Amino acid sequence: MFENRVAVVTGGARGIGKSISEALANRGCNVVIADINLENAEATAQEIFQATNRKTLAVHVNVADYSSANEMIDKTLAEFGHVDILVNNAGITRDKLIMRMEEQDWDLVIDINLKGAFNCCKAVVRPMMKQRYGRIVNISSVSGLAGNVGQANYSASKAGLIGLTKTLARELASRQITVNAVAPGFIPTALTVDLPEELKEQIIKATPLGRMGKPEEIAYAVAFLASDEAAYITGQVLSVDGGMVMM
């Protein structure tokens, strides 16, 4: 499906990002595992290479820093000669009710989740435009669609990602670059592992399918949107949330 395509996955070393990297490699992609933790990225890159025999590259990136995002794309181009797919997955949470939320908690989440995606898109757009081909998939959230108590910063960042997705879809369509978003529901990862059991039960009750999702279920959606099978889909948000938010 992706023979000789090159994908960059930010936050690709663990959790949903790792599952996305694995899904793309399993379908024939060469994958750049870009992460703030280079040691984790290198371990994941080696693991995926051994499992799939696809070329992998581990790159350190701080997505909140444009020069770091630009360097990530430069290293990808130096190694592979082109970049076809960008998955903006890197993200953090700093949950608190707004009365208790510190300014730095707001700034950090916005800088990584939203500005980080902007930085990576800006860095990759020129080479994609030159080759007249590209797939950008942004990882939003049900929190960006419906809001969530205690997540003013996170929900705002993920809602902003949807606006960024739709705008870039319009700007880049003439160069055959599609831009879409996936909005996961609640997925057991390092970001959700500390949720109280009572809250997890409430989440499951609020989900029509009656369970939390799996990282690989997000990865499958990303792989579809990054494929040529989705060539006529752009500017869309695909919710993968067990029916939690229906729009």
Residues acting as catalytic residues: 154
Distances (CA, A) of 114 to 30, 54, 117, 151: 26, 30, 5, 14
Q: How far apart are CA 92 and CA 90, in angstroms?
A: 7
Of 65, 69, 13, nearest to 41 (Cα)? Answer: 13
Q: Shortest CA distance to 32 belongs to which of 9, 4, 61, 62?
A: 9
Report how far apart, in Å, the C-alpha atoms of 14 and of each of 112, 151, 218, 221, 229 are: 16, 22, 13, 17, 27
First to last CA, the chain: 30
Comparing CA positions, the residue from 36, 29, 37 lying closest to residue 8 is: 29
Torsion angle defined by CA atoms of residues 38, 44, 48 and 54, in that order, rounded to the nearest 10 degrees: -10
